[in-house]
Each structure stands twice: as structure tokens, then as C-alpha cells.
Amino acid sequence: MVTVKDNINYFLNRRSINIDIGFRCSLECPKCQRQSQHRNLNKKVPGYDLTLDEIYKLSDFYKEFVFCGQYSDPIHHPHFAEILRTLRQKDVVCCVHNASSHKPEKAFTECFEANPDAEWVFGIDGLPEESHKYRINQDGEKLFRMMLEAKKILKKRPIWQYIIFKYNEHNIEKAKAMADKHDLTFLLVQSSRWKGDEDYLKPKEHALNAF
């Protein structure tokens, strides 16, 4: 039986951190806190880019970094490749969650090459040509190409994360086939951010049972 003390000890001694390293993202996903709590209210998104010195200090303690921002996409940090390179040199495990496509292709390649040991999760919700219906401003076809480019460089298979929405629920099997064809790990995700059954993005129950 897990006690409160066990949970506290785990929290205080954990060596993994899920971190926002900046405040920028070019996407306007309707369910994102960035939109609902700031942009939709005409408020500035708070935060700053963590410095390399701050990253270095954190890596003295944390031995796993998960770059899964709630307000930002890590690819937009101006020194992300250097951060990845530094963490590799310090033998820190890295997992990168990326959905924004608005960086030059060479910037993606530089990041992959900076730390080939890192695991990358690409958020493309639906077939590449339709993912922009939720990931507003995303170029899904470009990001899919970057995912295939990552496979040539990374030691771990890239992960294609696919959140089920009403517009993409009929293409799950097609997407799975695409992932198999290109030797990608396919990850279906069920959201819990619906605003009632009338939410225009909420898929039908049969799609939610596709797990």
C-alpha cells in the first residue's frame, strides 16, 4: 500500500523534470492553456527563455529532462540545440515533445544531431494534411517530413502522437498504416479537455474506444 509519506519521498527525490524552457509557440491550439488563459483574453503569455547556465545547474540534479511545454514549444528556444548537446555530454536522458513546425528544416536537423540519444514525440493530430484543424498554424506535412528526417539521425524511433478529434477519428487506421510503413511508433491519445458533449472537436465514443 502506497502511503502519503511514500508519495512525498518520491516527489522530493525524483530525478526527472517536465519543463517549459521558454514562452514561445507559433500554434494556436484551442484547448491549450496558452490560448484559454492568455491569448483569448488578450493577455501576454508570461515567461522567459531559461539560460544555459540555469539548464546546466538543473542537470546537476535532474537526470531526465522532458521538454513537454504547457505554454511553449521547445523548438523555439534560441539555444535548444546547445541545450540538447549539453545534456548529452552530461549523460542526461531527454524526451522532446514538438508540435510547432515554424522553424527552418536545418534548425530541426541541428537539434537531432546535437543529441541523437534523445527521444522525440511529434504532435500531428490526424493525417499530416489535416492536422492544422486543431494545431492551428501547423504545417503537418512539413513536420511529418521532419519526423522522417529524425528517424535517420536519432537512435530511438520517433513517436507520432495523434490526439483523437472529431475531424480525424475516421483516419486512425490510415495513420497507423503510415506509421508502420515508415517504421514510426504510433501513439493514440485521448483528450479530457472537452466542453460537454456538444464540443465541436469531441469525437464519437467508438473512436475513443479505439485503444
The domain total for the chain is 1
Q: 157 in a domain, yes or no?
A: yes
Residue 184 lies in a domain: yes
* Cell matching residue 140: 503537418
Record the pTM. Answer: 0.89
Domain presence at residue 135: yes
Does residue 1 belong to any structural domain of this protein? no
What per-residue confidence (pLDDT) applies to 2? 58
Q: Is residue 5 part of a domain?
A: no
Question: Per the domain annotation, does 6 fall within a domain?
Answer: no
Distances (CA, A) of 123 to 22, 99, 139, 160, 196: 18, 5, 11, 6, 24
What pLDDT does residue 171 have?
96
Structural contact between residues 162 and 189, judged by C-beta atoms closer than 8 angstroms: yes
> Containing domain of residue 178, as a range?
15-208
Residue 47: CB partners within 8 Å, gap ≥ 6?
20, 22, 23, 71, 72
CA separation for the pair 56, 61 (Å, rounded): 9
- Rounded to whole angstroms, how far apart are CA atoms 55 and 19? 10
Would you say residue 39 lies in a domain? yes
Q: Which of 55, 56, 89, 66 is nearest to 16 (CA)?
A: 66
- Domain assignment present for residue 129? The answer is yes
Query: In tens digits, what is the pLDDT along the chain, a chain of 211 residues?
Result: 656 655 555 555 668 999 999 999 999 988 888 877 777 778 888 889 999 999 999 999 999 999 998 889 999 999 999 999 999 999 999 999 999 999 999 999 999 999 999 999 999 999 999 999 999 999 999 999 999 999 999 999 999 999 999 999 999 999 999 999 999 999 999 988 777 777 878 998 655 565 5
What per-residue confidence (pLDDT) applies to 111? 98
* Rg, the chain, Cα only: 18
Q: What is the CATH number of the domain that holds 29?
A: 3.20.20.70
